[in-house]
């Protein structure tokens, strides 16, 4: 039980983020370095730069359950709660044990994945836990007289120092480290209760299936104990590598100045703590012989993977992979990709053809009766498409690799190599889609809904089959993530781009994931349908896939990359290192015989020159990890009871920004107004640039609420001038820092509570402050806006600024020589560069300073930058682009070329003889 307490933790994966896989070191024959304990101190570094010595801590289970280890009050509480769980199982009636412990386990699982997840999210984004500790003065020494709870200070000091008796001093440790130690105790309680309640639920559901055969029982118990033992080893080996620091998400609080070598279990599978680290759950399900335990295990595992995607991965990327600037960008990049639902474009021939064909195939599969003749027909169609997909396309790729036959064909008919590549992508995509669609149609014809789901292994077959299908989908996504569209469509068969082999994502662990995992979904479908025909189809597909890898991909890879190819993947190396010496020697002998046999067979086949081929069998899927966003939200509250002492006439808000230019005012006079309406208003209308920072100056009484805040709103969004009716959606800044325990909210404060010397009101002392709204605190659209000053954390409005307009100037084509393309593009670049800088928050790490300078990598990671920019381009130039154009072009120069090219192409349809959007005027005769 003490072992499995770690099995739900899954926290050791965090430190994995700091490793970089260097394939070149493997190619040079260097041996893996195994992490060994060093007798040296570990130094930590907080966000403010404070360096401290990190004390030595120990794992949760040994400290909690080992009687030789010192115990504190939190240990007693954890043990008491666990004992309460066990006693509840003993005393509850049989009819209540299952539902009660199912609810208890789901509660603790929610505390883990949802509760801890929210806390870590807040800590990662806003340093919230540390801010709370500062606000409540948990670690403020009572000797200073500023700690309102000295008893709590003494309790925390005693609790933490008992656990770390050697090199830890409560008073000298940074507040970030002490906060992390307290957070650890909360984690200990949740994780222990999570696992213990799961085990108790399994015990409550455990049973002996009626009529179970002896060999099935033996297999079930052997599988269960083997997976539990494997789970135990995974957790122990992971903790050996990552230690307590990463096990308890230490890098959410501080960073350590050390490097870890990720060997052992981290060479077996990606995110082992969250993938193979949950094998024990399924082993316990097998021992309990209960589908209830199996399904609740799947729910827990899925919740843990969601925790990884939504909480840990964003923090990993932000902390260990900061934005960098590309060294160069392609001159004419392609951005209209094929894969993925988001790239579906029915105006594109291949997408339209695929959609129509799939619709017809689906309709045919549904409406035709499930007769032996129809089953044979669909099976034959699936087999034919699999053979063409594997053998046919394999032959095409082999000829392309040997003599560029595909490219030569398109050159012969006057096309370019790029056109040949585009046609190949559509050809391959259409064939691959039909191959899998016909397979699914054949499965549909062979499948029949079970009459009794509890009969035999019916339920288990569906669970295992669905899991294998999910595994193939994940494999396809991982392959696409690593290779991109260029690698997915075998781009190195068509272009020599001097690509360097990099083994990332799933390729860090496997050289050819398609060999086994790439066809897992086919076997899963065979298990679900339980049809001999589908089993045969899956077997043929698997063999063809292996043949494709061996006779098409491998020769080409050896020809292109030569010695740069890695001989052994991470998983293979780990297994070889784990073998006993006699087995390792025997395995080397077998490898020698197999290599000699393989060379003989290859020589024989080369002599016979057969045309064998097979294709990669992976499902075309492209998904985007969706990340939850937690914008700062303020809710509508009642009028503050202390509002009576504050007079709104002493509050004021003024706005300063960068003027949008003369064109913004001249565009208002369109000639469609009456005579009086055509003259400009004497009032100086404030019109600011799109995306430019806006400075706000405020003035208020010195006794104003410390939680006063100013929000940015559209003028038309609020009916009332006294109370704001809508949330600010993160577009707000407090007047005084440190009042909302949020570093995100405080971002933008310049000055606060500065005494006003020229105050006209003698009876009231006034103070002033300044703040800047920029980036995510702006509205990224055109419109009329206003700032509202709110009282003491509520939505009571004390002052409203003068409304101002956000405007994007239209590009003036009339003053540019339509026949001088170079001058035209240079003018577009000059107009576009400041707009791009605004859309990229004027961050020097992201925004370029010249048209040729590449964008920062944040533009690719976060789609908000591209969406801002394509909106501005549409308003500025009248050209609409997809957001994917921005990261693909990579700099202002390429974007300007694309705009010029688009205007030139659309010129005949723009009512302009040149580049404009107005009605062309008659050509005037040249003056003599």
Give the pLDDT confidence of 409-447 residue by residue, as tens digits. 888 888 888 888 999 999 999 999 999 999 999 999 999
Could you tell me the pLDDT band of residue 360, with boundaries at 50, 70 and 90? very high
Higher pLDDT, 890 or 673: 890
The pLDDT value given to residue 491: 87
pLDDT > 90 in the chain, percent: 41
Residue 88: CB atoms within 10 A of its CB come to 16
Distances (CA, A) of 559 to 421, 548, 598: 20, 16, 18
Report helix, strand or coil for 856.
strand
- pLDDT reading at 918 higher than 60: no
- Average the pLDDT over each of 13-22, 275-284, 851-860 and give the range with the smallest value: 13-22
Higher pLDDT, 434 or 24: 434
pLDDT average, residue stretch 45-62: 86
The answer to whether residues 3 and 232 touch, using CB atoms and an 8 Å cutoff, is yes
- pLDDT reading at 768 higher than 50: yes
Q: Nearest 5°: phi and psi at 798? A: -100, -30
Most trustworthy range by pLDDT among 41-55, 294-308, 732-746, 749-763: 294-308
What is the rounded distance in angstroms from the CA atom of residue 236 to the CA atom of residue 224?
Answer: 19
Closest to 523 measured CA to CA, from 616, 443, 613: 443
The pLDDT value given to residue 13: 36
Could you tell me the pLDDT band of residue 10, with boundaries at 50, 70 and 90? very low
> Chain-wide mean pLDDT for the chain?
81
For the whole model, what pTM was predicted?
0.75
The pLDDT value given to residue 573: 63
The answer to whether residues 413 and 400 touch, using CB atoms and an 8 Å cutoff, is no
Q: Tell me the two tokens of residue 609.
A: 């020159």
Residues 6+ apart with CB under 8 A from 568: 26, 511, 576
Residue 477: CB atoms within 10 A of its CB come to 21
Residue with tokens 């560069």: 833
Q: Tell me the two tokens of residue 360.
A: 């017809």
The answer to whether residues 528 and 521 touch, using CB atoms and an 8 Å cutoff, is no
């Amino acid at each position: 039980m003490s072992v499995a307490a770690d099995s739900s933790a899954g926290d050791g994966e965090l430190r994995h983020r700091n490793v970089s896989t260097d394939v070149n070191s493997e190619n040079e024959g260097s041996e893996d370095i195994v992490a060994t304990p060093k007798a040296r101190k570990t130094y930590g570094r907080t966000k403010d730069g404070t360096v401290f010595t990190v004390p030595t801590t120990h794992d949760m289970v040994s400290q909690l359950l080992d009687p030789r280890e010192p115990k504190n009050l939190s240990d007693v509480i954890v043990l008491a709660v666990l004992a309460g769980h066990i006693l509840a199982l003993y005393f509850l009636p049989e009819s209540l044990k299952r539902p009660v412990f199912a609810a208890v386990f789901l509660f603790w699982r929610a505390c883990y994945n949802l509760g801890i997840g929210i806390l870590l999210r807040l800590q990662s984004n806003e340093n919230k836990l540390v801010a709370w500790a500062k606000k409540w003065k948990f670690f403020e020494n009572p000797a200073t007289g500023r700690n309102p709870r000295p008893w709590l200070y003494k309790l925390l000091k005693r609790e933490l120092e008992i656990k770390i008796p050697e090199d830890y001093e409560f008073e000298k440790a940074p507040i970030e480290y002490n906060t992390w130690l307290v957070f650890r105790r909360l984690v200990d309680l949740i994780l222990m209760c999570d696992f213990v309640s799961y085990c108790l639920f399994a015990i409550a559901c455990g049973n002996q299936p009626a009529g179970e055969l002896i060999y099935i029982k033996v297999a079930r118990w052997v599988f269960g104990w083997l997976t539990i033992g494997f789970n135990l080893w995974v957790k122990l080996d992971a903790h050996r590598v990552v230690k307590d620091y990463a096990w308890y998400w230490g890098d959410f609080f501080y960073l350590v100045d050390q490097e870890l070598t990720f060997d052992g279990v981290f060479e077996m599978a990606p995110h082992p703590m969250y993938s193979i680290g949950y094998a024990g759950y399924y082993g316990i399900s097998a021992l309990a012989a209960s589908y209830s335990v199996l399904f609740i295990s799947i729910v827990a595992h899925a919740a843990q993977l969601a925790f990884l995607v939504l909480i840990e991965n964003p923090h990993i990327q932000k902390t260990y992979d900061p934005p960098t600037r590309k060294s160069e960008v392609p001159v004419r990049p392609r951005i209209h990709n094929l894969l993925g639902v988001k790239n579906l474009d029915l105006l594109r021939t291949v997408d339209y053809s695929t959609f129509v064909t799939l619709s017809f195939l689906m309709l045919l599969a549904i409406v035709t009766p499930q007769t032996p003749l129809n089953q044979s027909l669909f099976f034959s169609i699936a087999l034919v498409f699999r053979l063409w997909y594997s053998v046919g396309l394999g032959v095409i790729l082999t000829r392309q690799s040997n003599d560029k036959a595909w490219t030569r064909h398109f050159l012969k008919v006057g096309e370019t190599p790029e056109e040949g590549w585009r046609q190949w992508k559509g050809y391959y995509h259409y064939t691959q889609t039909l191959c899998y669609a016909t397979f699914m149609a054949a499965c549909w014809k062979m499948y029949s809904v079970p009459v009794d789901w509890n009969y035999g292994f019916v339920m288990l077959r569906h669970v295992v089959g669905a899991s294998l299908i999910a595994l193939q989908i994940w494999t396809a996504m991982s392959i696409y993530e690593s290779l991109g569209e260029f690698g997915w469509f075998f781009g190195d068969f068509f272009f020599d781009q001097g690509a360097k082999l990099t083994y990332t994502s799933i390729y860090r662990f496997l050289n050819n994931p398609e060999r086994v995992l790439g066809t897992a979904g086919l076997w899963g479908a065979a298990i679900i349908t339980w049809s001999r025909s589908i089993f045969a189809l899956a077997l043929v597909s698997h063999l063809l896939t292996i043949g494709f890898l061996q006779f098409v991909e491998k020769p080409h890879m050896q020809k292109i990359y030569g010695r740069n190819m890695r001989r052994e993947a991470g998983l293979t190396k780990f297994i070889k290192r784990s073998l006993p010496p006699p087995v390792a020697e025997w395995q080397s002998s077998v490898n020698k015989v197999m290599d000699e046999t393989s060379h003989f067979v290859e020589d024989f086949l080369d002599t016979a020159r057969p045309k064998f081929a097979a294709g990669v069998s992976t499902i075309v899927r492209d998904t985007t990890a969706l990340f939850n966003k937690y914008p700062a939200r303020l809710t509508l509250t009642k009028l503050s009871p202390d509002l009576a002492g504050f007079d709104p006439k002493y509050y004021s808000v003024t706005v300063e920004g960068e003027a949008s230019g003369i064109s913004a005012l001249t565009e208002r006079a369109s000639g469609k107004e009456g005579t009086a309406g055509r003259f400009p208003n004497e009032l100086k209308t404030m019109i600011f640039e799109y995306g430019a920072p806006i400075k706000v100056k405020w003035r208020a009484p010195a006794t104003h609420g410390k939680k006063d805040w100013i929000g940015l709103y559209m003028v038309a969004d609020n009916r009332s001038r006294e109370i704001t009716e809508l949330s600010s959606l993160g577009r707000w800044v407090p007047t005084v820092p440190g009042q909302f325990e949020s570093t995100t909210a405080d971002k933008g404060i310049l000055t606060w509570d500065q005494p006003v010397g020229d105050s006209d009101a003698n009876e009231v002392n006034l103070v002033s402050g300044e703040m800047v709204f920029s980036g995510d605190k702006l509205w990224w659209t055109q419109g009329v806006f206003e700032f509202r000053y709110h009282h003491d954390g509520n939505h009571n409005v004390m002052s409203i600024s003068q409304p101002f307009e956000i405007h994007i100037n239209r590009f003036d084509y009339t003053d540019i020589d339509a026949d001088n393309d170079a001058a035209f593009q240079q003018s577009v670049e000059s107009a576009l560069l400041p707009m791009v800088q605004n859309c990229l928050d004027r961050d020097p790490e992201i925004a370029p300073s010249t048209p040729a300078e590449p964008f920062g990598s944040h533009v690719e990671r976060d789609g908000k930058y591209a969406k801002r920019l394509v909106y501005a381009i549409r308003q500025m130039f009248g050209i609409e682009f997809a957001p994917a154009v921005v990261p693909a072009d990579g700099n202002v120069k390429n974007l300007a070329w694309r705009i010029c090219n688009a205007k030139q192409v659309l010129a005949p349809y723009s009512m302009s003889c040149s580049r404009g959007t107005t009605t062309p005027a008659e050509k005037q005769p040249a003056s003599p």
